[in-house]
Structure 1
Amino acid sequence: MSDNKDSLTFARLISPVGVEEFFQTHWEQSPLRLSRDVTGFYDDTLSVGDIDRYFQTQHISPHFLGVLKDGEYCPPDQWTEVLHSVRNNASERIVDIKKLLGLFNSGATLIINAAEAAIPSLTGCCRELEREWECHVQANIYITPSQGQGFAPHFDAHNVFILQIHGSKTWSLFDVPFPSPVQTTPVADNYKQREPTKTLELQSGDLLYIPRGTVHSARAGKGPSIHVTVGTMVRHWSTLLRLLANTADKNASFRSLLPHGLSGESEHASFNAAFRQQLQELIAQTDFLKIHNDHFAEKQRADIRGLFSDLLQAGRLTPDSVVCRRPSLRYSVERNDQWLIIRFAGEEIVLPLFLESSMLKMLGATPFKVREIEGNHSDVAKLEMVKRFIGAGFLTIIST
């Protein structure tokens, strides 16, 4: 069964500011600081106990961790160890938690990247935000010692929400050197000698929204500080052009080779006119929001919370068992003359086209009994179909 714990919705994240007001006044325009004076506001999303349990995990890969001291990354060999396997005579480098926490105790900032993939409560938060935003959402945790600073002044190429979990942190905000930056935009520099345009202090439970491109830095107050940076990887207009190119690859005309020997101005003009015409026809046939949403559905990370429990219970399913599509899951559907292709989270299920009517219940967001699947199928066939979708992580069991 999936985790039914309430997740942090976007409306609650920015409360008491309304969603419409936020987009009209702040989104990609100006920072927003919310001072709540509620120390445990984010306890359901991330607590000190959650991080403590994460550090108790054995064999943590160093790929998701970073250690910063004096503005520089500490080499992994300072906080990892080599684990040798006698069984297959192999070795791998894993995090040495005592060394890691020792560096923190001596003034280093610890960074847990993509923490939503490792801490279930953050998984729920990010999946809920992904459902609302239709884009990938990532959460990085920054654990900073007293008076410590992580990164030097910099900007992000995506919008970020800062959730102050523990302690306090002072944020310095500067200008926007490159409007609407993307990943390839040059990095801002020479901000260490500048005075910030705004300085804000966050306490536990507070929120800070920083529009992309805004140069910023942060320093912990008196005592250790923990905050989560939630990044919304919203796509740009230029993203649609890249997706359009993927669509063009499916068109035989666009797979043709460019003509050889275009030397004269008239030939250039004729070619440009023909290409524009062909491109305009492709644009007219393309539903851009659909290709955007389909691409996100196919690339979305799988939400496997409760999948193991579902697999253990799958053998107990009956026609009266209740199942449901995983609430945060997005999918795309492709039809051809014979097949129905359902893509989601890196998975692909191919079914005969005549089963399309039977898929209506499973593709919907409402829980349903197995016997309610439409079509002239036996209960055994319906159960097998449901088990296939449970095993793929598309459906979850509500009750057996």
Structure 2
Amino acid sequence: MTSLTDQVGAESEERPSSGLSRLLHPVPLPTFRDEYWERRPLHIPRNDPEYFADLLTLDDVDRVLGQSGPDFGNVRVIREGKETPVSELGAPGRNMTASRLEALYERYRSGSTVILNALERRWEPLARFTAMLSAEVNARFQVNVYLTPGGQARGFDPHYDSHDVIVMQAYGSKRWRLYGAPYALPLEGQRYDHSGEVPEVEEEFDLQPGSLLYLPRGTVHAATSNDAASMHLTFGVHPVLIPALISEAVREVFEGDERFRRSMPLGFADDKHLQEQAEDVFAELIDALAARLSPQGMTARAVKQTTSLAPVTLRGHLGDLESLPRLDLDTRVRRRPGLRWSMALGEEVVELEFHSKTVQLPVHVADEVRFVTESDGQGFTASSIPGGLDQPGCLLLVRTLVREGFLTLS
């Protein structure tokens, strides 16, 4: 890895308060996008134990573990690559939560790594932060937390992930070894082959408190704790992938066009004439497929898919529903913060897609819907919506979008 100080300004520059810029500081976003993203690892050294304290602390993990019983479904226990199912921990009894919690801590005290999977689903600071990152990056984020005791403990053998990861060292330090990328940008089904020889170490360093490490998918790595305990957060990055977009588009063509669903001719393997006929059919179908998969259409499909990657943000929705009967022309509303959406205009309806669902509205309210989607965080009232729709219609539009969770009361 290239030395960080060769490329960016001094650490003393004022750091951003939120988002990807905060994680990468002092590396500029354009530098990360053009030189590191899906290309090579990036280590940003810091020695600031409080840099990620607003997201998660060691005391917070105690609290989360205490609230995870009785099944502890999102908690894993790993030692030297071997996992012990949490369902096997604890002694049968009336208080299984207490028994399994004590067993988890005993495993940790004995050298096991405790992993909290998908913590952004149940820890509010991480939920807010990942929602912000998702809107900025156009990707889904999953946060796994790794708590490793001191004494050279290791959770996993050298391996690579089939998604990019951003590692944030929140407590203690950890020794990382990077072994290169034998297979660049593997897809989800292309798992690391553990049967071969482990490649030579290319980089080795301690990740200090407050430091960050970015690893493109396919980078073989392993980490061990030092003398003291270590806690790091791994943000798994799941963006819109080109292969998935093309596969989905091709599948839709196959489902909608009978020509693509036919079999090869009977006896073609031993008949040269049938093989030549098949070549003509393939030429026709490949041309038809290329005509259906335009660059503009594929890009629009990618934009639309980002709406399903963002987390559902419905904080305050129950209160909005209770206030809905009293919502009038002068009630101030706003687009829900962190929301991702797409809008498509058809011949008869406007389709507004968000939260992995589609809301259809009459096409004659397209201008009003566009105003609502493009409104800023300051909010608006039904009476202030421009366009040709009368005020009762504007009120109905606002009430509909509050009920569906697109709008929230300011």
For 2:133 and 2:169, the matched residues in 1 are separated by 18
Shift of 1:141: 0.9
- Check the 8 A contact 1:62/1:94 in 2, yes or no: no
- Check the 8 A contact 2:75/2:86 in 1, yes or no: no
| Matched letter for residue 225 of structure 1 | S
Shift of 1:26: 2.1
Q: 2:108 aligns with which of 101, 104, 109?
A: 104
Report what 1:87 is aligned to.
Answer: none
Report what 1:266 is aligned to.
Answer: 276
- Check the 8 A contact 1:262/1:268 in 2, yes or no: no
The reply to whether residue 327 of structure 1 matches residue 332 of structure 2 is no
State the SS of the aligned residue for 2:289.
helix
- Check the 8 A contact 1:314/1:387 in 2, yes or no: yes
The reply to whether residue 73 of structure 1 matches residue 83 of structure 2 is yes
Change in Cα spacing, 1:95 to 1:289, as seen in structure 2 (3 Å) is: farther
More deviation in 41-50 or 202-211? 41-50
Change in Cα spacing, 1:184 to 1:327, as seen in structure 2 (3 Å) is: same
Change in Cα spacing, 1:261 to 1:332, as seen in structure 2 (3 Å) is: farther
- Check the 8 A contact 1:160/1:230 in 2, yes or no: yes
Q: 1:124 aligns with which of 103, 124, 128?
A: 128
Shift of 1:282: 0.7
Report what 2:137 is aligned to.
Answer: 133
For 2:133 and 2:401, the matched residues in 1 are separated by 24
State the SS of the aligned residue for 1:63.
coil
Shift of 1:188: 3.2
Equivalence map 1:185-264=2 (5 Å): 185-189=190-194, 195-249=200-254, 251-252=256-257, 257-258=262-263, 260-261=265-266, 263=268, 264=274
For 1:83 and 1:267, the matched residues in 2 are separated by 72
- Cα deviation digits, residues 97-149 of structure 1 (max 9, x gap): 33323322232211111111111111122111111221212111111111321
Report what 2:57 is aligned to.
Answer: 47
For 1:325 and 1:184, the matched residues in 2 are separated by 38
Change in Cα spacing, 1:72 to 1:375, as seen in structure 2 (3 Å) is: same
For 1:242 and 1:60, the matched residues in 2 are separated by 41
- Check the 8 A contact 1:342/1:348 in 2, yes or no: yes
User: Larger strand proportion, structure 1 or 2?
Assistant: 1
Change in Cα spacing, 1:216 to 1:361, as seen in structure 2 (3 Å) is: same
For 1:313 and 1:215, the matched residues in 2 are separated by 53
State the SS of the aligned residue for 1:208.
strand
More deviation in 376-385 or 162-171? 376-385
| Matched letter for residue 52 of structure 2 | Y
Report what 2:405 is aligned to.
Answer: 393
- Check the 8 A contact 1:7/1:44 in 2, yes or no: no
Change in Cα spacing, 1:178 to 1:343, as seen in structure 2 (3 Å) is: same
Q: 2:374 aligns with which of 355, 364, 377?
A: 364
Report what 2:165 is aligned to.
Answer: 160
State the SS of the aligned residue for 1:141.
strand
- Check the 8 A contact 1:389/1:395 in 2, yes or no: yes
Report what 1:172 is aligned to.
Answer: 177
- Check the 8 A contact 1:82/1:94 in 2, yes or no: no
Report what 1:277 is aligned to.
Answer: 287
For 1:82 and 1:340, the matched residues in 2 are separated by 57
Shift of 1:242: 1.0
| Matched letter for residue 109 of structure 1 | T
- Check the 8 A contact 2:134/2:141 in 1, yes or no: yes
Q: Note the residue ranges of structure 1 that are not aligned, 5 or more in a row.
A: 1-5, 85-91
| Matched letter for residue 345 of structure 1 | H
For 2:306 and 2:93, the matched residues in 1 are separated by 37
The one of the two structures with greater contact order (alpha-carbon pairs below 8 A, sep at least 6) is: 1
State the SS of the aligned residue for 2:330.
coil
Cα RMSD for the two superposed structures = 3.1
For 2:195 and 2:276, the matched residues in 1 are separated by 50
Q: Note the residue ranges of structure 2 that are not aligned, 5 or more in a row.
A: 1-15, 269-273
What is the TM-score of this pair, normalised by structure 2?
0.83
| Matched letter for residue 274 of structure 1 | E
For 1:393 and 1:117, the matched residues in 2 are separated by 19
For 2:323 and 2:162, the matched residues in 1 are separated by 44
Report what 1:88 is aligned to.
Answer: none
For 2:70 and 2:301, the matched residues in 1 are separated by 37
What is the TM-score of this pair, normalised by structure 1?
0.85
Change in Cα spacing, 1:58 to 1:159, as seen in structure 2 (3 Å) is: closer
For 2:384 and 2:216, the matched residues in 1 are separated by 47
Report what 2:119 is aligned to.
Answer: 115
More deviation in 245-254 or 40-49? 245-254
Shift of 1:315: 4.9
The count of aligned residue pairs is 386
More deviation in 333-342 or 268-277? 333-342
For 2:20 and 2:74, the matched residues in 1 are separated by 26
Change in Cα spacing, 1:28 to 1:310, as seen in structure 2 (3 Å) is: same
More deviation in 114-123 or 319-328? 319-328
Shift of 1:41: 0.9
- Check the 8 A contact 1:370/1:386 in 2, yes or no: yes
For 1:272 and 1:343, the matched residues in 2 are separated by 36
For 2:340 and 2:164, the matched residues in 1 are separated by 22
Change in Cα spacing, 1:313 to 1:110, as seen in structure 2 (3 Å) is: farther
State the 4+ residue runs in structure 1 displaced beyond 6 angstroms: 80-84, 92-95
The reply to whether residue 9 of structure 1 matches residue 39 of structure 2 is no
Report what 1:301 is aligned to.
Answer: 311
For 2:93 and 2:371, the matched residues in 1 are separated by 48
